[in-house]
Structure 1
């Protein structure tokens, strides 16, 4: 059952940009005056359900101009990206932001598999005698017989060993591009010895299933953050030998742009653990654990009141306590159930269609509290390596 939703608020005030004043040929489309422009300056030209704009005689090289009756012209409509669930966004040159919008635009996200679509609509402004633009959206049900995709398609499982016959899948990370995985520095520094970091497995829904259902790619290089000290600045980027192939079970997470306000008070994390398991033991399948943020002082208090030797380990790994600027703390009965390097994500940063990684596990020796490295303060370092 599908529903058609019309967004009645017009977006021209948000999307319009100041353009150089230039003499554009005047045209007429069904009694409404317009300007002859390149299609990329006319947002309603993206409207797949709207009538096609008539062409003008004017051209720019081989490009034909169209008669655009929009009340405001835009600088480049090709930078507009529609979310099936949350509206219209614009690429603006910020690497992390633009890449997230690219994922939203191109990848087989679950919301699209569930029948969510959006598009541009246009409405005549009677007073101005030009067209304002809005959005339409369709939300529906998944196709009959649909096989549910992974609930953590952004997670990579990291393998240690000299070959695939001897590999142990011990830690986790977050796919952020087709070549890079974001994880913690601790647990991922070694590349030599009997158990070097050797492989990344993508699309892992069950650890005991046939490995032919996984994408297994070799590790090329580990980029450790230059200021790692104990569990502070505890981040690393794992560069892969060959590109990841994205599908409904293997998808990247977005990075939170440093200039954006991101609500991290409630988040979620994939867990392969039960409370009595050590770091080498895992459940067959992962569950998604809901997390609630704690302040630095709450976090410190809950950890230091634990029985020995937990406070000793805490003081050794985080001798200055929790740094609110670069770390996050989450608390509930399930927050001990994390894997080294595993992500914390939110789903409402841009669109719930795509997850955004906001934290990477840094410390947890007690059930009820876990410390994560905040991703947002390190996005510049990440993007300089991943998208130089």
Structure 2
């Protein structure tokens, strides 16, 4: 078989002493066993072998990505390869998100049981809301204890040590919304663990931990920085309370706010691994033209951002008077606004964006970060999280 286009100009300077194979081709190991050619990032066992200085069996190159021979059992079964396996009944996107928002808001109340000796016992409700609605001043501060009860921390375990590298948002009993980039990292493998219910990493009070049972990237995400959104299915359901409960989802394109809040355990600058305390950062919205001017050097380079910043499914936000917006460790976390309060719904946030990428991180002033616009993916999210 002649070589196919699974490699590029890099092959002109790299000599392969074997037949070049493409992704999906069968391949053989030195012991005679068979495998399948996969991108390196799709084969966690080979990633681990490379870290221990064991040379992989190389099939070829796809662009700048290495294709390696991978055993079938190495392929991560928890990574979803289909969008929706069962057809979902026709419904208006956003309706079920609004219904769930109302349901989840009940957990902002602490239920207080009357003394057991009363003839007619009763239960009262007390609103426990650590919201700082006067937070709308641009800059970063420590989050209050129950201010972001949907905030999740995502962990990876390439070795005995667990590395907590990304953020996310609890949106149901068993799903966390994050970025597609945070589902897998080249150095640390797939997302394995999720923690929620805390603000300080060293304080286990009210902290809940779950393993990840399924990883679901958006089907159109392919590392070109578009559609950078994904879901993590948790192994067991979360029991809600005033410390742990889902956020609401922004279902409409129009956002009736001039400022938004990003939250995460990211550091204050690029040299820091991250903060022990959950930080909240108030950001200003930037126009799509301002954002495109910021990232114009990266547009159409190496196949990324070939269409620039697309307002339909991206949001730009940052701080014009300071250098700290979001930083490493914040990725995948929420950009949120206060949900409009009603008699039925109080103390809730609307997730309007997912932290995707940026340039600032304590280096440059007046540089916005880019967030995946959640309202553009409401149907996709609802069909997976609430399929019936």
TM over 0.5: yes
- Partners in 2 of 1:343 and 1:220 — Cα distance? 22
Say which SS state the counterpart of residue 102 (structure 2) adopts.
Answer: helix
Question: Cα distance 1:195–1:93, how it changes in 2: closer, same or farther (>3 A)?
Answer: closer
Question: Cα distance 1:313–1:261, how it changes in 2: closer, same or farther (>3 A)?
Answer: closer
Counterparts of 1:118-129 in structure 2, within 5 Å, are none
Say which SS state the counterpart of residue 186 (structure 1) adopts.
Answer: helix
- Partners in 1 of 2:182 and 2:254 — Cα distance? 30
Larger Rg: 1
Say which SS state the counterpart of residue 292 (structure 2) adopts.
Answer: helix
Checking the alignment, whether the CA contact within 8 Å between 1:150 and 1:249 is kept in structure 2 is: yes
Say which SS state the counterpart of residue 381 (structure 1) adopts.
Answer: helix
Checking the alignment, whether the CA contact within 8 Å between 1:159 and 1:167 is kept in structure 2 is: yes
> Which of 330, 333, 337 is the matching residue for 2:327?
337
Question: Cα distance 1:314–1:253, how it changes in 2: closer, same or farther (>3 A)?
Answer: farther
Q: Please say if 1:266 is aligned against 2:266.
A: no
Say which SS state the counterpart of residue 325 (structure 2) adopts.
Answer: coil
- Partners in 2 of 1:111 and 1:321 — Cα distance? 48
- Partners in 2 of 1:199 and 1:254 — Cα distance? 22
Q: Name the residue aligned to 2:105.
A: 104
Q: Name the residue aligned to 1:290.
A: 282
TM-score by length of 2: 0.59
Q: Name the residue aligned to 2:338.
A: 347
Say which SS state the counterpart of residue 289 (structure 2) adopts.
Answer: helix
> Which of 99, 102, 113 is the matching residue for 2:128?
113
> Which of 153, 170, 174 is the matching residue for 1:157?
153
Q: Deviations over 1:300-336 (max 9, x none)?
A: 22344xxxxxx34884442221101100000203323
Aligned length: 256
Shift of 1:196: 3.2
- Partners in 1 of 2:206 and 2:95 — Cα distance? 35
TM-score by length of 1: 0.59
Question: Cα distance 1:202–1:321, how it changes in 2: closer, same or farther (>3 A)?
Answer: same
Q: Please say if 1:224 is aligned against 2:203.
A: no
> Which of 252, 255, 265 is the matching residue for 2:246?
252
- Partners in 2 of 1:352 and 1:369 — Cα distance? 30
Shift of 1:270: 1.0
Larger CA deviation: 249-258 vs 375-384? 249-258
Q: Name the residue aligned to 2:370.
A: 371
Q: Name the residue aligned to 1:175.
A: 170
Counterparts of 1:307-318 in structure 2, within 5 Å, are 311-312=297-298, 315-316=301-302, 317-318=304-305
Checking the alignment, whether the CA contact within 8 Å between 1:303 and 1:369 is kept in structure 2 is: no
Say which SS state the counterpart of residue 247 (structure 2) adopts.
Answer: coil
C-alpha RMSD over aligned residues:
3.1
- Partners in 1 of 2:266 and 2:187 — Cα distance? 27
Q: Name the residue aligned to 2:117.
A: none
> Which of 195, 205, 213 is the matching residue for 2:199?
205
Q: Name the residue aligned to 2:385.
A: 386
Shift of 1:207: 1.7
- Partners in 1 of 2:258 and 2:236 — Cα distance? 36
Say which SS state the counterpart of residue 376 (structure 2) adopts.
Answer: helix
- Where does structure 1 lack aligned partners over 5 or more consecutive residues? 1-91, 116-147, 305-310
Shift of 1:98: 0.6
Checking the alignment, whether the CA contact within 8 Å between 2:169 and 2:246 is kept in structure 1 is: yes
Shift of 1:114: 5.7
